[in-house]
Structure 1
């Protein structure tokens, strides 16, 4: 008999539709396990359920992360054979990264999952996703933090938590930074996808130190995405709550260098004058760089290794809310497979 902790946080997998409006429902959590038992016939698993919050994940803030962390730390996760976190799909990739950073070294399999529609909707993949999470824990027992989600082609993808990227707006499919999922679930077993940049199973099983979660969890991070015409003078750097900047780059590791209000390099210099570090996601190593990339680095941008935007944002939120390491050192030190080499 396997003992699994189920942590329900709301989201579509914990919601119901009434009068054309989808919202969280207290009954949906119990319904998930009932439907799982009925559809799979699985009786060799015992679930312990906690509900630290009930929210639609688009409403998630770092304060909710703090609530989730407190609940997980208080639940004694190490006593279970595994942990399943049910969550909304909108911000699934952010919370997955958080769990990867904080609990990747726990030695217990932790799986986060969601649903594309409420459980009563025939289009819902929620029960199948939950069943895949159970199977990953029960049949593999692989330590680490993962996300599972059935894509629009009915393939059950398995992602490393810190490599999960936001779902596609049209298909609703998730993707993995670096080219695809870590593996897929087939017949209740994990089939690892051999891919350059994916860690070997031995690396997942190796002991690793755990990060200490910050007591207070405020964002403090200004996140910026590039687009033609981005005007950096619109950002108010005088606010004391701006502790660091994360700037996503175009795929060529570039951003605008046209002199004036559109130049990233000039914005970086303004930030440095106020003691604000600017991290850019991400810069490709081992090859020639465009002159525009040279300009931002010469201005003082801190280049992050190849990693997803979500993983970079969550890591920077952790970095600015801790005091053990300088923020720069924290960001450049690998934690849980977030860097794709």
Structure 2
């Protein structure tokens, strides 16, 4: 008896991949265009490709307009259709793809099947494009590994990356995304490769999927330190109703030892604002005990985000506060590895 064909739901949120070119207008999203193109390309109908259907969002979104409300919509759509499909493919613009993938990884508690997020740098409508490979290979990956791949990933340019380890590194090249401090979970070349040693443990089958919506009242942000920063600028950024801040620090977690700047941080953390330090460099971690300037941050109540990306640290704060946790609990949990987003050793 032949195994049943896998089923994949494609959530088409928008982005370059499904755009068409209109005279005098450049590329623009065209409703129904992506599905029409995919149905017309024989490769997407090949027997080895899982059965797929597209749910198109209205209106189609530029990913610059995607935020917490849209993360929750995507997560809830996955939750509602969870039992009917073997996996999900979120088609998304590249600009904020890493934020969405990170957020979904936290929001989908107990996920037991693959959720891949992909898009393209060149639309499927163009003769030369990266969309065909990204879409087709993602569908094939879901079909092959739905029994073992049980987390949210970004798939782009033949690399399968943990979603909450991913960041965008290029605006023009096909290799637009990287996982700076964690190896790819898989690669697509002549063969499909999945490194099972790197995968998250299987969830408890007795616990159903739980979707955590992002509370629209949560107020968190991110800020990149720079030479010449005036403390009043940071003080204003940390003022109520801010609950959390990702602080992108110099080097391995350093900041100026300006007494007024440190006092602004101390006053905020004393009020319960959770300030998480992450490094500005693409590789490495924030070690606040390494240098005197980092230790000054620790004394001001800042906690280390270790090797989390900005995208992961920010969406993690959104998620933790949306669970209704008190600031002290958020401070503790933001430093823990919840979904493979940071290295604890």
TM-score normalised per structure 1: 0.85
SS class of match (1:229): coil
- Equivalent pairs, count: 324
Deviation at 1:103, TM superposition (A): 2.7
- Any idea what the Cα deviations from partners look like across 1:214-253, whole Å, max 9, x if unmatched? 3633451121012222233124257543111111122322
Write the mapping of 1:53-202 to structure 2, written as runs, cut at 5 A.
53=58, 54-74=60-80, 76-103=81-108, 105-141=110-146, 142-150=149-157, 156-171=158-173, 173-178=176-181, 180-187=183-190, 189-192=192-195, 200-201=197-198
What is residue 321 of structure 1 aligned with on the other side? Answer: 322
RMSD (CA atoms): 2.6
1:29 aligns with 2:30: no
Supply the distance in 1 between the matched residues of 2:252 and 2:240 (Cα, whole angstroms): 32
In structure 2, how many angstroms separate the alpha carbons of the residues matched to 1:207 and 1:250? 40
Deviates more, 1:206-215 or 1:98-107: 206-215
CA contact (8 A) 2:266 2:301 kept: yes
1:332 to 2:332 alignment:
no
Q: Does 1:230 align with 2:236?
A: no
Distance 1:140 1:237, change over 3 A: closer
Contact 1:8-1:86 within 8 A present in 2 as well: yes
d(CA) in 2 for partners of 1:238, 1:87: 31
What is the distance in 2 between the residues matched to 1:201 and 1:276?
33
Structure 1 residue runs without a partner (length 5+): 151-155, 193-198
The alpha-carbon distance between structure 1 residues 89 and 215, as it changes in their structure 2 partners (threshold 3 A), is: closer
Question: 1:13 Cα shift?
Answer: 1.4
Secondary structure at 2:69's aligned position in 1?
helix
Whether the aligned pair in 2 keeps the contact of 1:316 and 1:331 (CA below 8 Å) is yes
**Could you tell me which residue of structure 2 aligns to residue 267 of structure 1?**
264
* Secondary structure of the corresponding residue to residue 141 of structure 2: helix
Q: How many Å separate the matches in 2 of 1:303 and 1:146?
A: 24
* Closer, same or farther: CA 321–191 of 1 in aligned 2, 3 Å: closer
**Which SS does the other structure have where 2:32 is aligned?**
helix
**8 Å contact from structure 2 (residues 92, 117) kept in 1:** yes
Q: Unaligned stretches of 5+ in structure 2?
A: 280-284
Q: 1:257 to 1:218 in 2, by over 3 A?
A: same
